[in-house]
A = this chain, B = another copy of it.
Amino acid sequence: MQGTNFDFEKPIAELEAMIASLKSVEGRSKAAAEGIDIDTAVEPLELELHRVMEKVYGNLSAWEKTQMARHKDRPYSLDYIRLIFDDFFELHGDRLAANDEAIVGGLAKLNGQPVVVIGQQKGRDLKERQRRNFGSARAEGFRKALRIARLAEKFRVPLFTFVDTAGAAADLRAEEHGVSEAIARNLMEFSLLRIPVIVTVIGEGGSGGALGVAVGDRVLMLEHSVYSVISPEGCAAILWRDKAMANEAADALKLTAQYAHQLNLVDEILPEPLGGAHRNVTDMALTLKEALVRHLNELSGSGETTLVDGRYSRLRSMGVFQEKVSR
């Protein structure tokens, strides 16, 4: 019953509970007493569970997706890094002032090939969350990311970034150390990196804080991840002065992977295991790895100039507007 903690998951939770109860030692002994083969008896229930899950998870609303993306058991950057890459050698520090643990990064191998990885990391338990500022990087985190990205460029290896943040930190220290400058610089410098850059939004793509490590040649999103200019709560507060209307705001913002793909802002949506990435991290990592390798192979033939020009064209194409001759 891991992860079935949202309203929309109630029917699933009930079915799962029923199946679990039937299959329990107690349930089995009861059934045995009545001469019933429990595994056969449970089969239709399991089929029903599967059907319900497909229905629920295939039709999540934008707000439900947001909840999935923020799920406490959702795999984080380091989970994927460990499952996908070999010999991860974590690097620390921005070489300026601090080691912001909301960002992790380092050297690694992907199928034997040297690569550099950077991820936003929320933290699993309370202590780790505090240490990582709940995944909200300050200026130092974005500068750490840039330093590590430049190492990748220096040694001509591809860069993979993993996006998962509610947004950049907006506290006093963040402002003092120029979090705006740090994000802005990353947007510019990442656009100029002379190496392949592949971005994956694995959970929450929260505003400028997400974008600060999300300029690349390819942007992928996991099926139930979200990417938004503002949090649904923030949007609701502005639109209706009511944070509780986050549901409606999420709809309005169209912050799902599916919609981002429709707008050509992301290149591919990676299907999650039924019920979400956290229900089968290994499978999710396999899907992700396959996609990363595939996109990297597509990019590997390109020269540096082609890459940088392509990345620019990609960004330049983003936007929907009308060009009317009359004014």
List residues of A whose CB falls within 8 A of some B CB.
95-97, 139, 143, 176-178, 181
Contacts and interface: CB of A to CB of B under 8 A. Distances in A.
8 contacts: A96-B96, A96-B97, A96-B143, A96-B177, A97-B97, A97-B176, A97-B177, A97-B178
Of listed A96, A143, A178, residue having the most chain B CB within 10 A: A96
Contacts of A96: 96-97, 139, 143, 177-178, 181
Nearest to A185: B95
Contacts of A95: 178, 181
Nearest to A182: B96
A176 B95 CA distance: 11
Contacts of A139: 96-97
A185 to B, nearest CB: 8
A178 B181 CA distance: 19
Of listed A97, A139, A143, A177, residue having the most chain B CB within 10 A: A97
A309 to B, nearest CB: 21
Given A96-B177, A97-B97, 12 more contacts: A95-B178, A95-B181, A96-B96, A96-B97, A96-B139, A96-B143, A96-B178, A96-B181, A97-B139, A97-B176, A97-B177, A97-B178
A145 to B, nearest CB: 15
Contacts of A143: 96
A81 B97 CA distance: 31
A96 B181 CA distance: 8
Nearest to A178: B96
A177 B178 CA distance: 14
A176 B97 CA distance: 6
Q: Which 5 A-B pairs have the closest CB atoms?
A: A97-B177, A95-B181, A96-B178, A96-B96, A97-B97
A143 to B, nearest CB: 8
A243 B176 CA distance: 40
A97 B172 CA distance: 12
A181 B178 CA distance: 19
Contacts of A97: 96-97, 139, 176-178
